[in-house]
Every structure is written in C-alpha cells, then in structure tokens.
A and B are shown apart, each in its own frame.
Chain A
Amino acid sequence: MASMAVMVYRYFGPLIARIPGLILISAIVVTGLLVWAIWGAAGVVEHIAANPEVNGAARTAFGMPLTVAELHAGLSARGWMLVGLFQYLLWPLQSELIRDLLGLGAVFGLFNMFPVFAIWWERKVAGRIQSRMGPMRVGGWHGWAQSFADGVKLVCKEDIVPGAADKLLFRVAPYFAMVPALLAFLCLPFGTYWVFRNIDVALVFILAMLGVEVVGVIVAGWASNNKWSVYGAMREACQMVSYEIPMTTVLLVPVMAAGTLNMIDIGEAQSGGWHTWVAFSNPFAFIAFFTYFVASLASCKRAPFDLPESESELVAGFHTEYSGFRWALFFFAEYAAMFVVSGLAVTLFLGAWYTGLPPAVGAWVVGAIGDNWVAHGINGLLISGPVWFIAKCIFFVWVQIWIRWTLPRIRIDQVLYSCVQVMFPIALIALVGQALWMLIPMDNVVYRIFNILLSAIGLIVMAGIIGIAVYGWRHGKRMVGYLAVDQLPGA
C-alpha cells in the first residue's frame, strides 16, 4: 500500500502542487453548496408533498409520500429545468433516514477534516514561533498535504498491542475517546439552520460529551499495562474532571443572559450587532469568557495544562503504547475537542455566526438587491453564516496553538491549585455578578456605559491582533522578542 501511495504521489503530485489553494477553496465551497442544496431540495420536496393536488393517497416504497411521477409533476409545475434528472435525485431525499445519513456524512467529514487541517496549522504556527518554517515540502505550497501524508503513514504502520496489556480494553479505548467528540459535533450549530440536531439541552449535551472523554483516556492508560501511562491517565482524569467545575459554572453566565440552554437561541440572542455579544454585555461576562477559555484549555489537555501528554516527562503520557491508527484516533479526538470548545466559546460569548455588523446593513442589502438568493448569499458573507463561525473557531484554535508553544507547562499541584483556589472563585463571582447585573434594566446608564466600554475594548483588541498580524506578514518581520529578525529564514 505504501508503494501505491508513492505512485499516486508521483503521478498526481506535480499536478496537485500547482493548484492547492484552488482545491482547498473549491472543496470547502462545494461542500457548503452541497449541504445548502440538499437542505433546499428537502424543503422543495416537503412543499410538494404538502400540496394536496400532487400528493396521492397511496404510499410508495419505504413509506415515502411521493412517487417519482408525482415529483415530476410537482417540479414541472414550479418551472424547474432538468426535471427528468431531479425527480430521481430528489426522490430519496424524502426519507428522513436518508437525509440523516447525508447529514451524518457531512458531520463526520467535518470531524475528520478539521484535525487534518489543524495538525498542519499547528506545525506551521509552531515552526514560525520557533523561527523556522514548518512543513514545506509535501504537496508544494507550504506543505499543505503534510497531514494527508501523515495519515497514510499512520495507517500503514504495524498494529502493535503490548503483550501484557488487556487486549480488549486496549483496542476499545480510542473509540471511547473519539466517539464523544464526534457526538458533540451533532448538536454544535454552525448557523441558524445549520445544525444536525437542535436539541433543547444542546449545551449540556456537549459538556457531557467532553466529560465522557475522560473515561477513554483512563481506560487507555490502564490498558497499556505501563506505569507511566497510568500516571498520565490519572493526572489527566484528575485535571479534566476538576476543570469541569469552573467550566460548567462559568458557562451558566451566557445561559442566564439568554435564558435558554438551546445553543441556537443563545446565538440568536447575539444577532443585533457587536454590542449584543454576551462577552461585551457586562464585566462579569467578560471575566467569564476568559475564565472559560482557560478552563477549556485544561479540559482539552492543551498547554500549559498538558501534563497528560507531557512530551518531556512521560514519553507520551497515556497514549505511549499507542501507535499507528489508534494514536491517530486519539489525536482526532483531541483536535475535534479543541474545535468543539472553541465553538462553545464562540457561540456562547462571541456572537456565534454573526459578524457584528448591525442588522441594518443586511436590511439595506436586501432592500437594494431584492429578497432573492443573491442578497441572502451576500448577507451570508456580511452579516452571518457558517463561514464566520468556522473562521472564529479557527481563530480560537490558533490562539490555543499560540499559547501552547509560548507558555511552559505547570505542575499538577499548580494545576489543581489554580483550579480550586483561583478559577472556581472567579467563576462564582462571575455567576453571582451576572445574576445581579440582570436586575439592572437595560436602558440604565450604567449598563450602557459598561456595554460600550467593553465593546470598544473588544474592537480595539481585535483590530490590534489583525493589524499586528498583517504588518508582520507584509514586512516578513517577527514581532516578538529582542532578536527581531528582518527576514525569516527561507522567506
């Protein structure tokens, strides 16, 4: 299989190397269009099925309400072109099971593709922080195909199970870590209608999934029959379970602000513009946001809390004995969990999928162009949309990577001290403060002052980060440290 991969790379490599950005962007655009098209098509089918003239009384196979002929009639009545093709394409979309399977495919695809991107991104960012370039060779442009090459390598590795290990538990443990991360994607909303399942307890469900990952890690550490793995697993369980307390407490702040556990409703509550975002509404929510971010770093086992996989101490912590595809499963779980906690931070505190532009801009666009799909597409880029959700999540994943490669690791007793004696009091203060703040009527001058002040601070910080990044990129400078280098090596 390795020789096959080499052949593929030899034939297609030079071709792919020339158009990597195009492939990536087209893949993203095509996936987005497919999801939107399937959703739209399902809506069309439902409209046709609801029309009593078209919908016959008989039931077709699998209990779907429309036959192909009825679909043909309904589509022709709406003036669709290529009806002969679409009637066969849209027919299976009536069944909820098939729609669910397609949706699951999209979720599973995203769950797989994000770690692939994130591993490459982490290596590039880590390289830049360390004055080197990161992967540059595989695939041509900045080594974008490095993750795919790593994937092929990991799949081709020998499947080693330690002799004295508990074989069943050893094999099953990566799935205990990976499946909760996948399930968390099921109710993470990317847009107002872009969620696989909109359950009313979505927030608590995602927290439950992050808590269940601990079991996978413990079982992995124990089943390796390796003292150091067990140490890593115990420290990790201790850390993750402890940090769930301030994390959950502080996540009650936006729940109180929005009044619901439904993530889409919390996102909708922040739709009015930059100043309606929960993080900028009062100083307690501001504190709550930063507390949540730090607690989520600990929950994801990211530095500075990465004792469980402390590379210089425990070989590799709880996944020392895992190699090949099983190790890849653990890493998929970790990067997917990073995306999920970033998604929670974005949805609950920073405006979900809204850009922060006031809705008046969207209304102006619709007024100028008309209420058609062009206007809604432009609004998707300007006002709200899944693109912005993913962009904000990637920004927070970038901040997590940045923190990992900047700060040193802290000890387990410092970890627990900071959890119980620093973060939990702050979380309680934020909670009580938010509860008291909600008693202030919204047109009170104190409320307004803090709202505007915090929004301004947020805007300045955001503009500052973007400005520094753009300045450094354009001038090729490294902006930190005493050893400012004018040109990065190799640039």
Chain B
Amino acid sequence: MRNIKKTAIGLAVLGLVLGAAATARAHETDPAPAATSHDLVQRSEGPGTLEGVLFYVFAATVLGSGLGICISRNIVRMAVYLFITLGGVASMYFLLMANFIGVIQLIVYAGGTLILLIFGVMLTSKSPWVRFEVKRGEMIAGGIVCSVLAAALLTVVLGAHWPTTEASVQGSTVAGFGHALMSTYLVPFEAVSVLLLVVMIGAALLARQE
C-alpha cells in the first residue's frame, strides 16, 4: 500500500513537471528570429489536446485538494492541502497565458502567505493532534447551503452567453504589466503601496509582546 502511494505521488509529481513544461512550451518566446515560432493554435492537433488533458489534471488537483481542506480536521493538513491548491491554481494561470501572475502567485501566495499561515498554525496549536470536532448538524447545514449556492452560481454563470474572443497576440506579459501599472493603474498601485505599509505597521503593532 505504501509503495502504491509512493508511486502515485511520484507519478503526480512527474505529471505536474511535465505539465508545467508543456504549458510553457505553448508560450515560449524565442531568443532568435530564425527559430520557428510557436503559437497557441499550432501543429497538427489544433488548440492542444495536451492542454485539455492538463486542464483536467490541474482542475482535479485544485478541486481535490479543496475537498481535502473541507473534509480534513487537522489544521496542518489543511494548510498543506491549501499549498497544493495554490500550486494547482498557479498551473492554471500558466495555462491561461498569465505567466507572470502564475509566478507571482507562487512567490507571494505559496511562498509567503502560506508560510505565514503555517507559522500562525504552529504558534497557536498545542499539539499536532488537536482536532476541533465539528458538529454534524453544522456541517450538514453548511453543506446544504453551499450546494444551493453552488447550484445557483453555476446556473447563472453557465447559462449566460459570454462574448468570447480568441487569443490574438502571443508574447511576454511583463512589459504589458509594467505599462499598465504605471499608466492606467497608477492610483491603485500607489494606494496598494500605502496599504502594505499600513498593514506592516498594524500587524507589528497587533502582534507585539506587551
């Protein structure tokens, strides 16, 4: 049983690595103009069967670990499942041609916010096996409410007709980000800088030792 788990984990790791590689392949920029160009709509398979398979793999990862967060009763395991969810969402950002946002998600969320959460978990838990027993009634009520909410949202969202446009331009998003942040979104950018300063001061103030 242990070997099966190890093999499964190894295969999942390999799949994730291959997935990251393949998605980046679709959005590669070439160092020299003489090399062949790669579009998203390319080759003989149309818009990418591999992309489709990868989408299902990443979606399964995200939803599976999300389900793990819902079901798990151990807070550290919830944090680890959240890490896997964040990684899956970052992979989906790569699929959606948002490379920069994907790496920012990994740096800030998985490498920053998650560490903060895990520190919070470790500093506030008395032993690794403390579990808060959730009342059955609460879980069922929550489950019903959330299912109804999900059904309502899905009906609305899937029933609407969204005017889709095909992706037109390939290339690097980083320069576009720089332009956008410095021109259209300059005020939110500055506001967020001030907000981060305020948050730093506030968090240090709240958590100081009396």
Contacts and interface: CB of A to CB of B under 8 A. Distances in A.
**Do A and B touch each other in the complex, judged by CB within 8 A?**
yes
Contacts of B25: 96, 100, 197
Given A171-B6, A201-B103, A268-B31, A59 B44 contact: yes
B44 A63 contact: yes
Interface in A164-196: 166, 168-169, 171-172, 175-176, 179, 182-183, 186-187, 192-193, 196
Contacts of A241: 111-112, 115
Interface in B101-154: 103-104, 106-107, 110-112, 114-115, 118-119, 122, 128
B110 A175 contact: no
A209 B24 CA distance: 15
B110 A211 contact: yes
Contacts of A100: 18, 21-22, 25
Most buried by A among B9, B32, B122, B171: B122
B58 to A, nearest CB: 15
Contact of A198 (B18, B29, B107): B29
B174 interface: yes
B29 A262 contact: yes
Most buried by A among B29, B43, B74: B29
Interface string A350-363: 00000000000000
A234 B119 contact: yes
Nearest to B50: A97
B110 A215 contact: yes
B21 A196 contact: yes
Contacts of B119: 234, 237
B85 interface: no
A104 B13 CA distance: 13
Contacts of A168: 77
Most buried by A among B100, B107, B111, B171: B111
B181 to A, nearest CB: 15
A193 B115 CA distance: 36
Given A97-B50, A198-B30, A179 B111 contact: no
A150 interface: no
A172 B106 contact: no
A212 interface: yes
A345 B99 CA distance: 23
Interface stretch (A217-225, A278-286, A331-339, A404-412): A217-225
B31 A192 contact: yes
Interface in A15-57: 46
B100 A201 contact: yes
Contacts of A166: 74, 76-77, 128
A52 to B, nearest CB: 15
A200 B111 contact: no
Interface residues of B, number: 50
A145 interface: no
Contacts of B43: 63, 96
A207 B18 CA distance: 19
A265 interface: yes
Contacts of B30: 198
B208 interface: no
A204 interface: yes
B80 A169 contact: yes
Given A166-B128, A172-B9, A199-B99, A211 B18 contact: no
A457 interface: no
A209 B90 CA distance: 12
Given A198-B30, A199-B28, A200-B99, A104 B17 contact: yes
A201 B174 contact: yes
Nearest to A264: B31
Contact of A193 (B31, B45, B104): B31
Most buried by B among A201, A223, A261: A201
Contacts of A223: 76
Contacts of B6: 171
B20 interface: yes
Contacts of A183: 17, 20
B16 interface: yes
Contacts of B87: 212
A214 interface: yes
Nearest to A169: B80
A179 B9 CA distance: 11
A258 B122 CA distance: 42
B5 interface: yes
A212 B110 contact: yes
Contact of A200 (B9, B80, B174): B174
Nearest to B83: A215
Contacts of A64: 44
A246 interface: no
Given A46-B36, A186-B17, A212-B87, 8 more contacts: A63-B44, A96-B25, A197-B28, A199-B29, A201-B172, A204-B103, A234-B119, A234-B122
8 contacts: A100-B18, A197-B24, A200-B174, A201-B100, A211-B107, A212-B106, A222-B118, A230-B122
Interface of B: 2, 5-6, 9, 13, 16-18, 20-22, 24-25, 27-32, 35-36, 43-45, 50, 74, 76-77, 80, 83, 87, 99-100, 103-104, 106-107, 110-112, 114-115, 118-119, 122, 128, 171-174
Interface of A: 46, 59, 63-65, 96-97, 100-101, 103-104, 166, 168-169, 171-172, 175-176, 179, 182-183, 186-187, 192-193, 196-201, 204-205, 207-209, 211-212, 214-215, 218-219, 222-223, 225, 230, 234, 237, 241, 244, 260-262, 264-265, 268
Closest 4 CB pairs of A and B: A211-B111, A208-B106, A200-B172, A197-B24
